[in-house]
Amino acid sequence: MCAQLIDGVAIGQTIKEEIAKEVATLVEETGCQPGLAVILVGDDQASATYVRNKEKQATKVGMKSEVIRMPAETTEEELLEQVEALNEDETIHGILVQLPLPKHIDENKVILTIRPEKDVDGFHPVNVGKMMIGQETFLSCTPYGIMQLLERMDIPVAGKHAVVIGRSNIVGKPMGQLLLQNDATVTYCHSRTKDLASYTRQADILVAAVGIAKMIKAEDVKEGAVVIDVGMNRDENGKLCGDVDFDSVEPVAGAITPVPGGVGPMTITMLLQNTLESAIRASR
């Protein structure tokens, strides 16, 4: 028996169509066009590709998209000044500084400079704190996207045992919190967890976010579990793959996200959702 495939491309497309309709309505009723500004510092190729994709997707749903490209030698002060200028720009509702930044720039300082009400990445400590206590706020885009995948696939979360492998501020930590808020029992695992498989085999919902290619094998997964693969790695042949060994796990799992085409498309989709929310709040 094969697992149900969780198609992030199709679900993401459905949500983007909903966003485009809401953007059109907002523009028509209030004259407010949601604006997303992305700052790219340096010439990292992967970052440049991500930024181009964000720009394209934002334009597709009818948003104003602004990309500010700054050279790698940009000083921290210059970058912070640019962020402050966007904070003051009323036509911009979402500010995103593409990470990673050059080593001489303090990422935390940059995140703190973005106003919480324009932090559509959901990284500002104010937004993280609000998420922790269940208040309305901007949710970190990848975990938010995963919750949407589960919801739109009608996969129940309440009462389930969810195991999250990874404890990053961007995925692991917020992922566990969102599952907890939806009444799952959550176990966090990480690089220091002893006998990892003893935990993963108990998971009704398993979220792998560690960045190690094909680390999760069939024997690590409970029969019928929902497997969410956040990893983006290259295998020995240079082919894109996740943290889950898809070919071995897919026959065991009840539902699974592919890589590519699973979680990835949802991250940008939820960034657009957050930008729309920010514009709606600003137009009130």
Q: Do domains 31-115 and 141-264 have the same CATH topology?
A: yes
The answer to whether the beta carbons of residues 221 and 206 sit under 8 Å apart is yes
Domain spanning 31-115, CATH architecture: 3-Layer(aba) Sandwich (3.40)
Structure tokens at 86: 């966007």
CATH number, span 141-264: 3.40.50.720
Residue 61, classed as helix, strand or coil, is: coil
Query: What residue segments make up the domains of the chain, in order of their start?
Result: 31-115, 141-264
Residue 60's contacts (CB-CB under 8 Å, 6 or more residues apart) are: 16, 20
> d(Cα 159, Cα 214) in Å, to the nearest integer?
28
Say what the pLDDT of residue 2 is.
82
From first to last of its 284 residues, what are the pLDDT tens digits of the chain?
A: 689 999 999 999 999 999 999 999 999 999 999 999 999 999 999 899 999 999 999 999 999 999 999 999 999 999 999 999 999 999 999 999 999 999 999 999 999 999 999 999 999 999 999 999 999 999 999 999 999 999 999 999 999 999 999 999 999 999 999 999 999 999 999 999 999 999 999 999 999 999 999 999 999 999 999 999 999 999 888 899 999 999 999 999 999 999 999 999 999 999 999 999 999 999 98
Kind of pairing between the strands at 233-234 and 240-241: antiparallel
Integer angstrom CA distances of residue 67 from 55, 90, 122, 271: 7, 16, 19, 15
Say what the pLDDT of residue 57 is.
97
DSSP string, 118-173: G-TTS-SHHHHHHHHTT-S-PPPHHHHHHHHHHHHTT---TT-EEEEE---TTTHH
Q: What is the pLDDT of residues 167-214, one digit of tens each?
A: 999 999 999 999 999 999 999 999 999 999 999 999 999 999 999 999
Give the single-character DSSP code of 37: E
Say what the pLDDT of residue 1 is.
67
H or E element that contains 66: strand 64-70
- Alpha helices in 170-213, H assignment, sequence order: 172-181, 196-200
Q: Compute how many other C-beta atoms are within 10 angstroms of the C-beta atom of residue 107.
A: 12
> d(Cα 98, Cα 14) in Å, to the nearest integer?
26
**pTM to 2 decimals?**
0.96
Residue 218, classed as helix, strand or coil, is: helix
Catalytic residues, by residue number, are 54, 98, 121
Q: Compute how many other C-beta atoms are within 10 angstroms of the C-beta atom of residue 144.
A: 22
> d(Cα 59, Cα 23) in Å, to the nearest integer?
11
Helix axes 8-30, 141-152, angle to 10 degrees: 110
